[in-house]
Amino acid sequence: METYAELPLLQQAIQTLAALVLVSSFALLAQSRVIATIQIFAWQGLLLAVITTLIAWETGLTHLYISAALTLVLKAFFVPWLLIRQARKLGILRDFDAIIRPGITLMAAGSLVIFCYNVVLPIQRFAQSITRDAIAVSLALVMIGMLMLITRRKAITQVVAFMSLENGLFFAAISATQGMPMVVELGVAFDVLIAAVIFGIFFFHIRDSIESLDVDQLNRLAETDE
């Protein structure tokens, strides 16, 4: 087994970028401003696109270039642009989404990463791909995405959390098996696109019915007066 320092520089770059994606996930979790959350999500998409391109370069799998291009267009530009546009229309672009106990949330995210690493160890031992070390990172992205989904109150940041969870799934596919079949990949990309549009319509519906995007208010029944 070769040590880390003996790996080619390109693979080291992939690992470093994977670590940066993990950082962006932590940043998403800790960021309370709506606009900053969307911007970090865009950066995460950009990082994933760069990683996919590097993996495609290293392995010579040409279909990965297409996924990289799709990721770049959809997750780094289109979805963030759409979310920012909707947030501006709703007038919540500069709002804060208060995070419940940021310290504990960050600690929980840290322990999730350790948990994911331990879960992935057996898979990692038998995987042959050059990015097998990044599988743990991708699973951690999924877990942190879920954690963000349950710690947020505003619908728009929850959508960002859901999208970053999907980023984790995409990264898992890339790092474990060098990408999914093209049909699946196109389908997922289309799914994300439609989801973003539908979420946008839902924002307006939620706001029309409860006059806020704070989904905690959905816990109460509208008919009863307190």
126 part of the interface to other proteins, by CB under 8 A? no
Which of 57, 77, 78, 117 forms a contact with other proteins (CB under 8 A)? 117
Nearest residue (CB) to other proteins, 111 versus 209 = 111
- Rounded to whole angstroms, how far apart are CA atoms 128 and 123? 10
Site for other proteins in 132-171 (CB under 8 A): 133-134, 136-137
Nearest residue (CB) to other proteins, 50 versus 90 = 50
97 part of the interface to other proteins, by CB under 8 A? no
Do the Cβ atoms of 163 and 41 come closer than 8 Å? yes
Nearest residue (CB) to other proteins, 18 versus 87 = 18
13 part of the interface to other proteins, by CB under 8 A? yes
- Rounded to whole angstroms, how far apart are CA atoms 92 and 33? 10
Nearest residue (CB) to other proteins, 102 versus 210 = 102
CB half-sphere exposure, 62, CA atoms < 13 A: 0
- Rounded to whole angstroms, how far apart are CA atoms 44 and 160? 11
Do the Cβ atoms of 21 and 51 come closer than 8 Å? yes
- Rounded to whole angstroms, how far apart are CA atoms 144 and 179? 22
3 part of the interface to other proteins, by CB under 8 A? yes
- Rounded to whole angstroms, how far apart are CA atoms 18 and 176? 13
Nearest residue (CB) to other proteins, 108 versus 210 = 108
Which of 69, 88, 101, 110 forms a contact with other proteins (CB under 8 A)? 110
Helices (H), 72-181: 79-90, 102-126, 134-151, 155-177
15 part of the interface to other proteins, by CB under 8 A? yes
What residue ranges bind other proteins (CB under 8 A)? 1-5, 9, 12-13, 15-16, 18-20, 22-23, 26, 30, 102-103, 106, 110, 113-114, 117, 133-134, 136-137
